[in-house]
Chain A
């Protein structure tokens, strides 16, 4: 604790660059090793990555706003995903397909998302300082409620008519709801194929709109308030900002975006695993964002794009590369899961360590200032 620490940054710019971007650089190296080993053709790989970008970026963007408001990684984005799934179940039950179905699902998801977002925001306001673990447990808790609603209430209480999505026993939703009739409708509308790589222009356009929204939002009064709250809650409160309300809004916006993102994700996949689609989504989105060089308190759109590309490249090549190295394909599977969790762990540790260092530095500085002030007063 008593060790002298200097505020002077590292002199060498290369060292500084490497230190600030450890995780992305590590991932570039992993990908560089694994890609040749996996033996996939470049066009296949590129195709996969573009598809996954269209599928995931919208979802990951929902994490940016709570980070801006200083609430850390929003593990509660799963709530939005569940809202999106409930909307899709209704739309599938009403047999509204194609682009109208997707749009209707998005509209329908908004009230669910807002409701869940309000609940999540309220609870997070009650547990300031440990938002992440709370949002993580909230996602489990709401998952329980989701199962209660979808498995038991859909049918007897909430009318579900169509036999193809209802369980044979008469209530509850089947394990998978086929979305075949809206599979990739957004991706295929306005898609261009360049050198064997299909580029879903419409999906990317939607993502671009959201990126513009996030950029614009940063500059609005509310966005500025959020950043102020993220910097220092007490100072923001003293400046007359309603801290609780601002935090609540950031979570609600994030949840709504996550709901839309999940619908885009599922229309690409073409089927909905009713009870498991959302369970891992938060983890993968957060891991991807962190791989892109984001930290718990700082993330931008560039991180999202870089993160999706690097993380999903690793995800695609790891199993076959693992099989080539060890002769067992399971190793690669487990390896990519391990890497996902490992990245989140490392990012969390680095963030907390940095926070503590900053705190002790600030304390140090304060003490020193006090000392000089006292000396001046004595003179």
Chain B
């Protein structure tokens, strides 16, 4: 545990310094940057792992046409997958800002989304309305679960990430029982022969399959862009950005960057953290609905189990750290991560005739999380 040097003498100038160190990025000061060689500067500002992954992805894009796969199809796939996952990655932002660390408890929010989705179908909504209703129904669930989760995390400050992981796991395994026991009746969702218990995957055809993606979709040759989904993400991202610039949002950022300073500034720590957890949980709920509308299926039971890890590594690849994250990190990270996921199978397969994509994905994403966890964080809870 890294202890901050303690001093009790607060002077205005010191407070100012603190303020500056809170608001500026800690990686390298402008003076240090100027003294570095251009390459070193690039590495310092961009982060070595991110640079490697970007280079890897670029290489993939360059290699794609030579391996016989259509370049624009690859680009469309990447953009498509970006649009499915971006909101889930955005859900990481508030909790990182408030100093709760990486939200490994994302499955809890996903479960609220799944409850919303299944209930919307159960209540007989179809078409685009069902998507809207799924969000409406999942919102109160996400708020209640998020408040419970936030309360728990407030009790155990400093150990959030491990407990978040297990809160996610327990809730997923608990819901596994519930999916069987809850009195769902809709014939599109329950097992045909037993007449009860939800199926493991539920097709969204006739409900909200591609409802956002098809909105204003752009098709040029083999390139297709799911404009609606991207606009939806842009809206949420803008709201998040705006929120982080309100008074509450700034307080949240200060809390994550320097808890001692935040406390001295009179911020209600527990309430701010609780709010961040609720927002994160709700975004996870919406995120899974967006994911489903792109993917076309609701996945239940053990499917949400490991969904937190790709989102966590995506935002870290984007350049976030355990207590700092921005919207740009979300966009860059999701793009790089999903680009890697889509490109590696096709390109790798045709170059070396073996599908190593799964293994590469595991190594890169987990390695990224490890890198972030083992870096010394300034301020922070630890």
Contacts and interface: CB of A to CB of B under 8 A. Distances in A.
Interface of A: 123, 126-130, 132-134, 136-138, 140-141, 143-145, 147-148, 151-152, 233-234, 326, 328, 330-331, 334-335, 337-338, 340-342, 344-345, 348-349, 351-353, 355-356
Given A331-B181, A334-B176, A137 B370 contact: yes
A234 B2 CA distance: 10
Given A152-B354, A349-B155, A356-B156, A133 B161 contact: yes
A326 B3 CA distance: 52
B51 interface: no
A345 B167 contact: yes
Interface in B157-178: 157-159, 161-163, 165-167, 169-170, 173-174, 176-177
A335 B104 CA distance: 22
A134 B366 contact: no
A133 B103 CA distance: 12
A353 B157 CA distance: 8
24 contacts: A126-B374, A127-B373, A128-B2, A130-B159, A130-B162, A130-B382, A134-B373, A136-B165, A137-B369, A138-B370, A141-B362, A141-B366, A141-B367, A144-B367, A147-B362, A148-B356, A152-B354, A330-B180, A335-B177, A342-B173, A345-B163, A345-B170, A349-B155, A356-B156
Interface in B343-382: 354, 356, 358-359, 362-363, 366-367, 369-370, 373-375, 382
Contact of B363 (A128, A144, A234, A349): A144
B166 A129 contact: no
Contacts of B267: none
Contact of A328 (B163, B180, B362, B375): B180
B368 to A, nearest CB: 9
A352 B163 contact: yes
Closest 4 CB pairs of A and B: A144-B362, A352-B156, A141-B366, A352-B159
Contact of A129 (B1, B155, B156, B180): B1
B152 interface: yes
A66 to B, nearest CB: 14
B162 A133 contact: yes
Contacts of A233: 1
B128 interface: no
Given A126-B374, A129-B158, A148 B363 contact: yes
B180 A123 contact: no
Nearest to A342: B170
Contact of B366 (A140, A148, A151, A326): A140
Contact of B173 (A129, A133, A234, A334): A334
Nearest to A171: B354
Nearest to B301: A334
B373 A141 contact: no
Interface residues of B, number: 40
A344 B166 contact: yes
A342 B170 CA distance: 5
A330 B173 CA distance: 12
A328 B197 contact: yes
B309 interface: yes
A316 B265 CA distance: 55
B342 to A, nearest CB: 19
Given A143-B362, A337-B176, A352 B155 contact: yes
B374 A127 contact: yes
B359 A152 contact: yes
A205 to B, nearest CB: 35
A151 B359 contact: yes
A291 to B, nearest CB: 15
Contacts of A128: 1-2, 382
Nearest to B361: A144
A136 B308 CA distance: 14
A148 B1 contact: no
Given A331-B180, A348-B156, 17 more contacts: A123-B370, A129-B1, A130-B373, A130-B382, A132-B159, A133-B165, A134-B373, A140-B309, A141-B362, A141-B370, A330-B180, A334-B173, A338-B170, A338-B174, A348-B159, A352-B155, A352-B159
B359 A147 contact: yes
A181 to B, nearest CB: 30
